[in-house]
Amino acid sequence: MTQVTGNLPDGTPNWLDIGVPDLERAKTFYGTLLGWQFEDAGPEAGHYNQCTLRGAPVAGMMRNPDDAPDEYWWTVYFAADDCDGLAKRAADAGGEVVMPPMDVMSIGRMAIVRDPQGGQFGLWQGREHHGSAIVNEPGSFVWNELVTPDSNAAGDFYQAVFGYELEPMPGDMDYTVLRRASDGRYVGGILGGADMVLGNGRTAVPTWMTYFAVADADEAVRKVTAGGGTVDSGPADSPYGRSAAVRDPFGVPFHVMKPAPEQG
């Protein structure tokens, strides 16, 4: 288990949220699967819900506006000591600032960015709210990876923005691990040459994929299907744990994973 009590170094995943067409159905699905409870921030915050684990925030959830595109995914946010500076660095590196830096009441400052290939992510500069307070244990995220057709171009972009060290994995898989330059800690990965389809059979686009830790991957898959979700593959074992690629009832892809001992 990892408990987070302050702001993390630049480029470290520190929050997740999702917009869905049916908030109550999403709460039932993810609450049953991951053991979450929910705290509604009220109408002044658009009924944004914090997903909590033992009372601590681990993710966010909201209802998509009626005029929003009918596409849904988990958005991963990266820690930013200077949200405005990192958003500018992303734009200078060829990315698109989809939502310019803005204050979220008094709790922090955020921006939404798209990399040159279309992979979307957020920046979060914590103030009162530092992000996910629990990670790497059942019910919280344990890993995030970018699924994209060109890992080299993606690696160049994220290195330019966050200063990552890039570590290609040996073997046939086109996979690059991202490390913080300050301490060498692994913070994510890039899976290249891979396709992924959004819900309802839409065109494949580069996407940041989240792995949620679970106590039992096989039981998690059963809960996914019982809750109206689907299974793309697995569960299957790897040196890093037992995992499955699944989708929620709205077609949003993610992974459930029981990490191998001392992994994550």
17 Cβ neighbours under 8 A, 6+ residues apart: 48, 59, 60, 61, 62, 74, 75, 77, 122
The rounded mean pLDDT for the chain is 91
pLDDT more than 70, % of the chain: 92
Is-contact 142 264, C-beta < 8 A? yes
For position 193, what pLDDT does the model report? 79
Q: What is the pLDDT of residues 101-147, one digit of tens each?
A: 999 989 999 999 999 999 999 999 999 988 999 999 999 999 999 99
Mean pLDDT value across residues 68-79: 82
For position 83, what pLDDT does the model report? 97
pLDDT for residue 264 is more than 60: no
For position 68, what pLDDT does the model report? 60
For position 66, what pLDDT does the model report? 66
- How far is Cα 87 from Cα 124, in angstroms, rounded to an integer? 11
Q: What is the pLDDT of residues 196-213, one digit of tens each?
A: 544 444 456 789 999 999
How many angstroms separate the Cα of 197 from the Cα of each of 45, 107, 190, 251? 31, 34, 17, 9
For position 65, what pLDDT does the model report? 74
Q: Tokens 């300050």 label which residue? A: 182
Q: Is residue 162 helix, strand or coil?
A: helix
For position 200, what pLDDT does the model report? 44
Higher pLDDT, residue 130 or 59: 59
- Domains of the chain listed by start with CATH number: 2-126 (3.10.180.10)
- How far is Cα 56 from Cα 39, in angstroms, rounded to an integer? 10
Residue 219: band (very low, low, confident or very high) from pLDDT cuts 50, 70, 90: very high
